[in-house]
Amino acid sequence: MCRSIKTLRPPVLPEEATEEDIRAAALQYVRKVSGFRAPAAHNREVFDRAVDQIAQATADLLGGLEVRGQAVRQAG
């Protein structure tokens, strides 16, 4: 598991996760799964697209979660 990925929802994170927080988590995930810290030029497009898609999916997830009956609003 990616140990550097942190929980991005309240109350664990005291404030809403920023786009930067979400993108950093997505980047860590793609790095871990792909095994590349920085992809070669011929893999850059697919690597970046995966980060974008995972960041969007994360924002959607966080935006749809309810914590103690309240919707958690996130950037995205």
32 is a domain residue: yes
**pLDDT tens sequence across 8-62:** 887 777 788 899 999 999 999 999 999 999 999 999 999 999 999 999 999 999 9
pLDDT at 16: 85
User: Is residue 63 in some structural domain?
Assistant: yes
Render the burial of 25-50: b for 16+ CB within 10 Å, e for the rest: bbbbbbbeeeeeeebeeeeeeebeeb
Q: Which two tokens stand for residue 59?
A: 């924002």
pTM score: 0.80
How many distinct structural domains can be found in the chain?
1
Comparing 7 with 55, which gets the higher pLDDT? 55
Q: Domain range for residue 49? A: 19-71
5 confidence band (pLDDT: 50, 70, 90): confident
